[in-house]
Chain A
Amino acid sequence: MRKQNKKLLFVLVGLAGVSVAVWLILTAFRHNLVFFYSPTQVLEGKAPTHGVFRLGGLVEKGSIKKDGLKTTFTVTDLRHSMVVHYTGILPDLFRQGQGVVVQGRRVGNTVFMASQVLAKHGANYMPPDVAAELKRSMAAKAKAALS
């Protein structure tokens, strides 16, 4: 075999080997690489029962109650939900119906005490008037579906 072909083979085989190794490592650590758990996962016992972990989902509409710096809201994955208590400043993008990741401890079956609230941003970007238009047409569609 020519020296160059040998080197090419070495590079390709090496790259394939490293890819497989990395894939195995990532599969093995799959559960440790999870940034947050959904309420369903928490209630199914897949999240740590003791200590700090992160809970993620949507802020349920109409669930936000504010009292000074104290905020209570519900995080839902549309199947199950948990009530979150938090004291502190909320990020700009914290809104009802939006994604959120909270860090803290589970204190009751469906109650969570958060020490940090992070807002999750969606992949959608549009001007305000387009968003309002979209909302109007969605509402019209929902109305049409009901009648």
Chain B
Amino acid sequence: MKFIHKYGAPKRFYQLAGTFIPWFAGITAVLFVSGLYLGLYWAPPDYQQGDAYRIMFVHVPNAWMSMMAYVIMASFAATGYIWNIRLADILARVSAPLGASFTLTALVTGSLWGKPMWGTYWVWDARLTSELILFFLYVGYMALQASIDDARRAAHASAILAIVGVVNIPIIHYSVYWWHTLHQPASLTLTNQPKIYATMLIPLIVMSLAFMFFYLTMLCVRARSEILLRERHTDWVRKLVEGKP
């Protein structure tokens, strides 16, 4: 608890995030460049889909991140709600647009792949529908945040929505096993051997790490601006803006 209160102070986090951002951004850039090289050039074509499968290197990491970002957002929202930690409120709030972007990218890239491969842009199967609901959850969370002026009340009201929405995450994950869906089941699971050949799996993992570090970088950048905005009347921000020590 003492640790959280020391590093959980927005001012302290602002400085800490500032030192981390260049590292995170650098790692993101290296991973993106190597991931794209491996995925678009080094990896072999697929035995059935040819080169069209390569959209997976963007689609799959975004789909994973859409769910991971939601769990992170809801955890921060719950932490902020239960223990009244301002930094957790801030991190939950700035995480939402990032998660929404991941979700939208997963939906759009999946749809672009679906047309030539499945024969349709969209079907209302359980996987696609639950992922669309995830997008609406993000949008609803952001709308609720935006509609309440008081930062603390906005955080606590929207926290309830974020927490309730967590129920959707296992539904998205298990939808392909619980129901007949057009979407294929997972190629990568914790318990079974991967159903993706190693030379295709490596770029996928690199790209997933790239999106993960991209998320971390953007989370820090957005949290810093949100902190400055919220603490604009404090002395330390004034000093920082005026450039005086």
Instruction: Tell me whether A and B are bound partners.
Output: yes
Number of interface residues of B (CB under 8 A): 43
Q: Of the candidates B123, B171, B200, which one forms a contact with A22 in the assembled complex, judged by CB atoms under 8 Å apart?
A: B171
Interfacial chain A residues near B120, Cβ < 8 Å? 91, 116, 118
Interchain CB contact (< 8 A) of A126 among B123, B160, B166, B197: B197
Query: Quick one: which of A22, A91, A130 contacts B197, CB cutoff 8 A?
Result: A130
Those of A122-136 within 8 Å (CB) of chain B: 122-132
Contact B167 A8, beta carbon cutoff 8 Å: no
Nearest to A6 among chain B residues (CB) is: B82
Q: Does B146 contact A (CB under 8 A)?
A: no
Smallest CB separation, B203 vs chain A (Å): 11
User: Which B residues touch A11, using CB under 8 A?
Assistant: 78, 81-82, 163
Interface residues of B (CB under 8 A from A): 44-49, 52-53, 56, 78, 81-84, 116-120, 123-126, 160, 163-164, 166-167, 171, 178-182, 184-187, 195-197, 199-200
For the complex, what is the distance from the CA of A122 to the CA of B182, rounded to whole Å? 10
| Residues of B with C-beta under 8 A to A14 | 160, 163-164
28 A-B pairs whose Cβ atoms sit less than 8 Å apart in the complex: A11-B82, A14-B160, A14-B163, A15-B164, A18-B167, A26-B171, A35-B124, A35-B182, A36-B182, A90-B119, A91-B117, A92-B116, A116-B119, A116-B120, A117-B119, A120-B184, A121-B49, A121-B184, A124-B187, A125-B195, A125-B197, A127-B45, A127-B46, A127-B199, A127-B200, A128-B44, A128-B47, A130-B47
Question: Could you tell me the distance between the alpha carbons of A89 and B185 in the complex, rounded to whole angstroms?
Answer: 26
Chain A interface residues toward B at CB < 8 A = 4, 7-8, 11, 14-15, 18-19, 22, 26, 33-38, 56, 89-95, 98, 101, 116-132
Partner of B167, one of A7, A19, A101, A129: A19
A116 to B121, CA, bound (A): 13
- B181 partner residues in chain A, CB cutoff 8 A: 35
**Which chain A positions have C-beta within 8 A of B195?**
122-125
List of 7 A-B pairs having minimum Cβ-Cβ separation, nearest first: A91-B119, A131-B47, A127-B44, A126-B197, A125-B196, A123-B187, A35-B125
Please state if A18 and B164 are interface contacts (CB–CB under 8 Å). yes
On whether the beta carbons of B163 and A91 are closer than 8 Å, the reply is no
- Nearest-neighbour CB distance to chain B for A119, whole angstroms, equals 6
Q: Is the CB of A93 within 8 A of B82?
A: no
Given A18-B164, A128-B44, A131-B47, 9 additional A-B pairs, CB 8 A: A15-B163, A90-B119, A93-B117, A117-B119, A123-B184, A126-B197, A126-B200, A127-B47, A127-B200
Collect the chain B residues with CB atoms within 8 Å of residue A56's CB. Answer: 180
Tell me, in angstroms, the Cα distance from A116 to B118 when the chains sit together: 11
Find chain A residues with CB under 8 A from B178 CB: 26
Q: How far is the CB of B59 from chain A (nearest CB, A)?
A: 12
B179 touches A34 (CB 8 A): yes
Report which of A15, A92, A94 forms a contact with B52, defined as CB distance below 8 A: A92
Q: Do A120 and B164 have beta carbons less than 8 Å apart?
A: no
Chain A residues within 8 Å of B78, by CB: 11
Residues of B contacting A93 with CB < 8 Å? 48-49, 117-118
Chain B contacts of A19 at CB under 8 A? 167
Q: With A7-B81, A127-B44, A127-B45 as given contacts, are A36 and B118 in contact (CB-CB < 8 Å)? A: no
Min CB distance B133 to A, Å, is 11
